[in-house]
């Protein structure tokens, strides 16, 4: 989807993980010196496999779930049925 690819439900799992990150930290992910990255740099950052750092003390089960939501391969991301069971 970042490069004009076809949209799929797996994108929603990634977005859910990012939303959880924002709730947990109160910050936007992928900030560069406190500023939001521009679109091209953001795409490059994500495609390079970078993911937001979760706060220390975050429950390990939640860390594992969010990392699955951010899986580089969309087909390996959890379904929302799985996410709701985990929560």
Residue 34: give its domain's CATH number: 1.10.510.10
Classify residue 75: in a domain, yes or no: yes
Classify residue 2: in a domain, yes or no: no
Classify residue 36: in a domain, yes or no: yes
Q: What is the domain range of residue 49?
A: 9-86
Classify residue 56: in a domain, yes or no: yes
Classify residue 76: in a domain, yes or no: yes
Domain count, the chain: 1
Classify residue 25: in a domain, yes or no: yes
Number of Cβ within 10 Å of residue 14's Cβ equals 19
Residue 75 has pLDDT above 70, yes or no: yes
Classify residue 1: in a domain, yes or no: no
CB 46 within 8 A of CB 2: yes
**With the CA atoms of 87, 85, 20 and 65 taken in that order, what torsion angle do they form, in degrees rounded to the nearest 10?**
100
Global confidence as pTM: 0.79
Output DSSP code: residue 44: H
| φ and ψ of 36, to 5 deg | -65, 135
pLDDT digits (tens, 9 = 90+) for 4-29: 667 778 889 999 999 999 999 998 88
């Amino acid at each position: 989807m970042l490069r004009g690819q076809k949209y799929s439900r797996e994108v929603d799992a990634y977005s859910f993980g990012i939303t959880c990150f924002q709730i947990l930290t109160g910050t936007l992910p992928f900030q560069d010196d406190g500023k939001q990255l521009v679109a091209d740099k953001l795409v490059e950052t994500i495609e390079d496999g970078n993911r937001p750092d979760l706060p220390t003390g975050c429950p390990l089960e939640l860390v594992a779930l969010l990392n699955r939501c951010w899986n580089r391969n969309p087909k390996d991301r959890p379904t929302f049925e799985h996410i709701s069971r985990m929560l």
